[in-house]
Chain A
Amino acid sequence: EADIYQTPRYLVIGTGKKITLECSQTMGHDKMYWYQQDPGMELHLIHYSYGVNSTEKGDLSSESTVSRIRTEHFPLTLESARPSHTSQYLCASSEGARNEKLFFGSGTQLSVL
């Protein structure tokens, strides 16, 4: 049902590397979000966007950055990965109207060695 895609599905990388997690949706949704989730834990909002050229930081402080140059694309970048960044990153989107459900991607499981 949901047309929101995240790549890669799994990423194992060494400390200090720059990484970009990709998120794309084909539903034309204005709002997009990045959540971080540790195993067995709740989802924490780290970034969100209400449209092109609009990005805001979420409730959980993150060293990652995001961009929204196109409606369908919302990539997340870590300039220098650290072991503390090891986590699952979930991208989501929703329509522009109020009270719309979130569609989640399958997530990227990031492991920084």
Chain B
Amino acid sequence: QQPVQSPQAVILREGEDAVINCSSSKALYSVHWYRQKHGEAPVFLMILLKGGEQKGHEKISASFNEKKQQSSLYLTASQLSYSGTYFCGTEYHAGGTSYGKLTFGQGTILTVHP
């Protein structure tokens, strides 16, 4: 069952902030975040492995609330280069041969204008 991302689309001006949410109806083991620009391959941003963990990547950070089965991606002081579609990928199983299999959300389209 795929995770649900919200919002579906965001339009920002340079310097503004945005939050993208990823929610699951099943218990999560890990959450990956990727960004895909039009016509290009998805590019890895970060992985969150356990509840309450926060990680950062330049001005992009994320949190993982294991209890709420939710992860949020925070984009601070957005730049034009942040434009693209953001996908969360979730891993549900804690072990066995299913590790590494990601189920992706439907994506959030982020557009940053000058």
Contacts and interface: CB of A to CB of B under 8 A. Distances in A.
Interface string B26-47: 0000101010000011111001
Given A50-B97, A98-B99, A106-B40, A42 B32 contact: no
B41 A107 contact: yes
A45 B103 contact: yes
Interface string B87-111: 1010000000101111111110100
Given A59-B101, A104-B41, 10 more contacts: A33-B101, A40-B107, A41-B106, A42-B2, A42-B104, A42-B107, A45-B101, A59-B103, A99-B99, A107-B41
Most B CB within 10 A of own CB, among A2, A90, A102: A102
Interface string B79-90: 000000101010
Contacts of A98: 99-100
Contact of B41 (A31, A42, A99, A106): A106
A100 B40 CA distance: 21
B49 interface: yes
Interface in B35-75: 40-44, 47, 49
Interface residues of B, number: 25
7 contacts: A43-B42, A43-B87, A43-B89, A48-B100, A48-B101, A101-B44, A105-B41
B105 A42 contact: yes
